[in-house]
Amino acid sequence: MSKNILIVDDSTIMRKMLVKVFEGAGHTVVGMASSGAESIELYKELNPDLVTMDITMRGMDGLTAAREIIAIDSNARVLILSNLDEDKYRDEVDRIGAIGLANKHNPDHILELVGE
């Protein structure tokens, strides 16, 4: 089933790339945020099926925003997207209850974690 997705990333290019990946796979991008704080507001407003969350953003980082979203909605599905150094975040990703961690530049892995 196609999913309604909220994309969170402070890079315009990355947001555009992710829109292509998700729409190409039949999902719907219902919103985009460029900061952690904005992502929390949009999550409450849009109630998406899934959030993809960048880690490094100015102000509130993505792991903090993910933690807050999961605190607001214990059923929230948040997929953390990292740039390079994936493994150093893995423990924290598990600890906060995100559904997983994928490299931004690996669309196949991202779509696998998003699910059908």
Q: Count how many residues are written for the chain.
A: 116
Q: Please tell me whether residue 54 binds Mg ion under the rule CB under 5 A.
A: yes
The span of 35-43, 56-64, 71-79, 99-107 binding Mg ion (CB under 5 A) equals 56-64
**Smallest distance, Å, CB 105 to Mg ion?**
13
How far is CA 65 from its chain centroid?
10
Among 12, 28, 56, 106, interactor with Mg ion by CB under 5 A: 56
Residue placing its CB nearer to Mg ion in the complex, 26 or 63: 63
- How many amino acids of this chain bind Mg ion (CB under 5 A)? 4
Q: Which of 9, 13, 15 is nearest to 38 (CA)?
A: 9
Separation between Cα atoms, residue 47 and residue 13, nearest integer Å: 24
Cβ neighbours for 85, distance < 8 A, ≥ 6 positions apart: none
Q: Please tell me whether residue 49 binds Mg ion under the rule CB under 5 A.
A: no
Here the tokens at position 85 are: 């150094």
Q: Which of 86, 78, 85 is nearest to 39 (CA)?
A: 78
**Smallest distance, Å, CB 36 to Mg ion?**
10
The span of 19-27, 32-40, 51-59, 107-115 binding Mg ion (CB under 5 A) equals 51-59
Q: Where along the sequence are the contacts to Mg ion (CB under 5 A)?
A: 10, 54, 56-57
